[in-house]
Each structure stands twice: as structure tokens, then as C-alpha cells.
Amino acid sequence: MNTAKKSSVSSTLRRTRQRDAIRDVFHREHRPLRAEEVCALAKQVVPGIGLATVYRALKQLVERGELTEVRVPELDNVLYESADKGHHHHFCCRRCERILDFDGCAMKTGPLAPPGFVVESHEVYLYGVCADCAAAL
């Protein structure tokens, strides 16, 4: 889909307050975040930061392999999280709307797709109520 337009993944990528602030956000929050959330959190450090800058930074960091996009089917926005986590999947809490990682793979090892299909990767999404919300009921 993305045919790597001008993504000169080699360019220098200068160090700026904005980008530092954005990286820090992910070091503090250990869960997938929406661009808007990243922007709000980054504003605590760099008040003037704009949404466009956040989007640009997120895209670069994804290209660099520092972040990963997380698209939860039931949600409308793309989320971002650190790419330095091992293989894991996502749990979507229908109460608090948060997305949480859960380690370990829930996939069987047996035949998954019909014969003739080549499976390169997979994603699993669980929906329900997270531990916090369940405890609060």
C-alpha cells in the first residue's frame, strides 16, 4: 500500500525538543496511544507543539522502526507504540476504551489458512473488560 514515497530512511533526523518530547511520551506511557494523546502529553514539555509535527514525527519514527502502528478494528484511529516490545497482541477494553498489550501468542500452531495460502504474519485482537474495569464493577 505505502510505496515508500520519499522515505529517505537514511537522512539525518536532527535532534529537536519536539521529537525528544514525543519519544519521552512513549517511554512513560507503555500502551498504544493516538496521535492526539501523544500531542497532548508532549505539550506538557513543549507547549507549542502542533499536531502536524506529531503526525510527521510519528510517521518518521515508524519508518525508522522505533514505533509501530496499532490499528484496532473496533477503533477508528491509528495508535502508536514502542516497537521494542516482543511479539504480542492487543486487548481492547470496551469500558475504558484503552488498548493493552498482552504477551504470549494466542494462536494455534496447526493449520491456520486453507492449503495454498502463504501466511506471513498475523494479528490477534481481544475485546472485553480489562482487569481494572472488571475490579471496579
Residues at the contact surface with a second copy, assessed by CB under 8 A: 1, 71-76, 91, 94, 97, 102, 106-108, 112-131, 134-135
Closest distance between a second copy and the C-beta of residue 67, in Å? 15
Print burial letters for 35-74: b (CB count within 10 Å at least 16), e (below 16): bebbbebbeeebeebeeebbeebbbbbbeeeebeebebee
Considering only residues 29 to 68 of the shown chain, the ones binding DNA according to CB under 7 A are 34-36, 46, 48-53, 55-59
E strand or H helix at 31 = none
Closest distance between a second copy and the C-beta of residue 19, in Å? 26
Closest distance between a second copy and the C-beta of residue 75, in Å? 8
Give the span between the Cα atoms of 92 and 125, in whole angstroms: 7
11 binds, among a second copy, DNA, none (CB under 5 to 8 A by kind): DNA
Closest distance between a second copy and the C-beta of residue 123, in Å? 5
Give the span between the Cα atoms of 92 and 126, in whole angstroms: 6
Give how far Cα 121 sits from Cα of 5, 46, 134, Å: 24, 38, 31
Question: How many chain residues interact with DNA (CB under 7 A)?
Answer: 28
Interface residues with DNA (CB under 7 A) are 5, 11-19, 34-36, 46, 48-53, 55-59, 76-78
